[in-house]
């Protein structure tokens, strides 16, 4: 039973390390992995001041169409050519149903902007609804920004992961050697 638990623990450890690798690689590439419908995002501008500003980290959650209303802050894949499909997080100022396509159209605006966004969004482009600003988000955002530098990434991520895998392999070798004796 002890060997089974040890083996199961090793499998769980490897799975967690692989998931952590996926999460860190996604973050280093300025992508946002989805974890049970939640995403952590870095804010890149001050368009939503005073709610949150540049350098903050926020949490957004997937939301059904009927859960989204005027006044909510949403993150969406922007159709603005200047943003090149990047995520944008703004407040909904109006929701309209297109009579011909029956599609719901969302009009958004940054709280710190004097104008509404030039481009609308549809439900399919919504990533999630803003729910929380992380208290130490600026420090975490700074850490994630450093991860985009290959030298920091190698030191902070790759070396510890390699050491963990090496430790796991050595432990498995020890277990095999004990079993053969």
Q: What are the pLDDT digits (tens) for 114-125?
A: 999 999 999 999
49-58, 93-102, 119-128, 142-151: range with lowest mean pLDDT: 142-151
Confidence class for position 31, pLDDT limits 50, 70, 90: low
Inside any domain, residue 114: yes
The reply to whether 11 and 80 lie within a common domain is no
pLDDT in tens, 46-84: 999 999 988 888 999 999 999 999 999 999 988 888 887
Residues 76 and 165 in one domain: no
pTM of the model: 0.68
Give strand pairing partners of 73. 91
The length of the chain is 181
Can you tell me the distance from the alpha carbon of 67 to that of 72, in angstroms, rounded to the nearest whole number?
A: 9
What is the domain extent for residue 85?
34-135
**pLDDT in the model for residue 105:** 93
């Amino acid at each position: 039973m002890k060997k089974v638990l040890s083996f199961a623990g090793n499998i769980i450890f490897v799975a967690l390390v692989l998931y952590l690798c996926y999460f860190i690689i996604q973050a280093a590439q300025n992508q946002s992995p989805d974890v049970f419908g939640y995403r952590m995002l870095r804010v890149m501008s001050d368009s939503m001041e005073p709610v949150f500003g540049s350098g903050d980290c926020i949490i957004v959650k997937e939301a059904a169409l009927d859960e989204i209303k005027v006044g909510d802050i949403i993150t969406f894949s922007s159709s603005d050519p200047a943003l090149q499909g990047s995520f944008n997080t703004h407040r909904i100022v109006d929701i309209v149903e297109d009579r011909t396509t029956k599609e719901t159209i969302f009009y958004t605006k940054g709280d710190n902007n004097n104008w509404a966004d030039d481009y609308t969004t549809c439900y399919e482009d919504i990533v999630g609804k803003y729910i929380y600003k992380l208290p130490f988000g600026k420090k975490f955002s700074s850490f994630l920004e450093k991860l985009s530098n290959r030298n920091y990434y190698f030191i902070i991520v790759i070396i510890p992961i390699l050491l963990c895998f090496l430790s796991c392999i050595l432990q498995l070798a020890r277990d095999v050697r004990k079993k053969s004796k």
